Amino acid sequence: MHTYHKLLAGFLFFFILMLPLHAQHTCGFDHQHEEMLQTDSVYPQQIQLLENNIRDHLKANLSANKSAGDIYTVPVVVHVVYTHENAPNNISDEQIISGIKRLNEIFADYDNSGVDTKIQFQLASRTPDCQSTTGIVRVKGSDLPSYTSHGIDIE
């Protein structure tokens, strides 16, 4: 009976964690990606080729330059498009940092439900042209063409 209670508690915990994810809108990229996989005959082949190239590159570089215990760090830039300074969609730096922390926990298999990928994410400290950055880019939506009247058009 004790195992049953653990299983039930685990299921409820997982379900509660997933509720906020279900309530969120999907990313525009995900929608566009799925549509292109269904409608564009070349796109799936390009994606597969890209994934193969990335996999081969990571295998070659990780095995040549990293030992088994080393962690691969991926610099991340978060783009926040907001309507006005105090809008809910202008999330705080703390929320972004918390999200990256959660992502790192998942990739590190903090709950022992999968595999530690030895990959972690951190806000980028340099731009592609080596300028200093916080890794968070904020863009006022009204500065984007048609954003105020149409939002982000994923079509």
Q: Is residue 129's pLDDT more than 70?
A: yes
pLDDT digits (tens, 9 = 90+) for 54-67: 777 767 765 555 56
Q: Higher confidence at residue 7 or residue 79? A: 79
Which residues lie below 8 Å from residue 107, measured CB to CB, with a gap of 6+? 116, 117, 119, 120, 121
What is the DSSP pairing of strand 72-76 with strand 78-82? Answer: unpaired
DSSP letter at 41? S
Q: Higher confidence at residue 139 or residue 64? A: 139
Exposure string over 97-108, b if 16+ CB within 10 A, otherwise e? eeebeeebeebb
> Do residues 133 and 77 make contact, with C-beta atoms less than 8 angstroms apart?
yes
Rg (CA), the chain: 20
Angstrom distance (rounded) from CA 45 to CA 52: 11
Q: Is residue 140's pLDDT more than 60?
A: yes
5, two tokens: 């209670």
> Do residues 121 and 76 make contact, with C-beta atoms less than 8 angstroms apart?
yes
- Residue 151's CB is within 10 A of a number of other CB atoms, namely 13
